[in-house]
Amino acid sequence: MCLGIPMKIKKIKGEFAEVESGKLVRTVNIQMLSHAREGDYIIVHAGFAIEKVDPRKAKETLKIIDEIY
């Protein structure tokens, strides 16, 4: 099973971004999303940003994930 997690972009450095979701902070490749900006919510899968997502939907998804754990 594959799972893409919504994460918020905190900093961008070239083709990489520091992203966070709750207490989890990671560096991911954003090369596939040339339009990504700091503050955007993105879907991260296997270390890559694969899609920009609406902030409202991202927050709803993160709330559901928090309820599971």
Give pLDDT tens digits for 3-56: 788 999 999 999 999 999 988 999 999 999 989 999 999 999 999 999 999 999
Residue 66: per-residue pLDDT: 86
Q: What is the CATH number of domain 5-68?
A: 2.30.30.140
What radius of gyration do the chain's Cα atoms show? 11
Q: Is the dihedral of CA 2, 24, 42, 59 positive or negative?
A: positive
Q: Cβ–Cβ contacts within 10 Å for residue 41, how many?
A: 23
Query: Are 40 and 9 spatial neighbours (Cβ–Cβ below 8 Å)?
Result: yes
| Ranges of each domain in the chain | 5-68
Query: Are 11 and 17 spatial neighbours (Cβ–Cβ below 8 Å)?
Result: yes
DSSP state letter for 69: -
